[in-house]
Amino acid sequence: MMRALQTLVMALACLAFTGVLATSIWTISGNPTPVNLTQLLTENMGRSGVEHPVTAVLLNFRSYDTLLEIGVLVIAGIAGISMAKTASLEDPAMRTSDSLLYALQRWFVPLMLVLAGYLLWAGADRPGGAFQAGAVLAATGVLMRLGGSPMEFLRPGLMLRLGLALGFTVFLLVAVASAIGGDAFLAYPPGMTKALIVVIETVLTLSIAMVLLALFVSAPVNDAEDPEEGAPS
């Protein structure tokens, strides 16, 4: 009875929320926009250093968001790793070693690595970029992990720390360097824009892949192996 009442109240609240949201969307959709962002963007595309508008927004006009985003990712990665037991990070005998998966992996891993490289390179003038390439790279790593590849670089040590922090560090260094050079924080020096964007995208790809892979790997394996930690006492 209590539960049914609770459900009813929740359902009504959610219906009210959806109704208010939909009404406000309907109202806003009728009004014209005060600022035309698209026009501002097309006017300034020449200064951005890349040809694809989404990449220009991500890494030039709104690069502050991207900097904070990679910061959030690094924090999430560190939190995930600190939650893991060292055993699950170092575990040399992986979870599954299926012969079908192994055969599939031999075909897919090189293909996916090429795809990640292409996506990164394509980001300058057509859909693609650091985020998609990072996701594909992380998926490659997950596939290799499931197939039982050793993946030495995921053990706690220099490589893991370097890989996690690389993207954020390089991005922050560029930002601070331009601030020290007398320009605004995160304003790229003229003439070097394209080169800097490519460098930042490359390290971002590596870092995003590393964070996602570390979060996948650091999930605690199971409690059957060490009963003393599973005891809730």
Binding site for other proteins (CB under 8 A): 7, 10-11, 13-15, 17-18, 21-22, 25-26, 28-29, 32-33, 36-38, 41, 53-54, 56-58, 61-62, 65-66, 69, 72-73, 76-77, 79-80, 83-84, 119, 127-129, 131-132, 134-136, 138-139, 142, 146, 208, 211-212, 215-216, 218-224, 229-230, 232
Taking the C-alpha atoms of residue 16 and residue 28, their distance in angstroms, rounded to an integer, is 18
Q: Is the dihedral of CA 81, 82, 85, 91 positive or negative?
A: positive
CB of residue 92 to other proteins, shortest distance in Å? 19
What are the φ/ψ torsions at residue 84 (nearest 5 degrees)? Answer: -80, 155
Give the nearer residue to other proteins in terms of CB position, either 41 or 162. 41
Q: How far apart are CA 204 and CA 192, in angstroms?
A: 18
Nearer to other proteins, 191 or 228 (CB): 228
Q: What angle do CA 172, 181, 202 make, to 5 degrees?
A: 35
Q: How far is the CB of 73 from other proteins (least distance, A)?
A: 5
82: alpha, beta or left, given left = phi > 0 and alpha = psi -120 to 50?
Answer: alpha
Min CB(155)–other proteins separation in Å: 18
Q: Smallest gap, in angstroms, from Cβ of residue 115 to other proteins?
A: 9
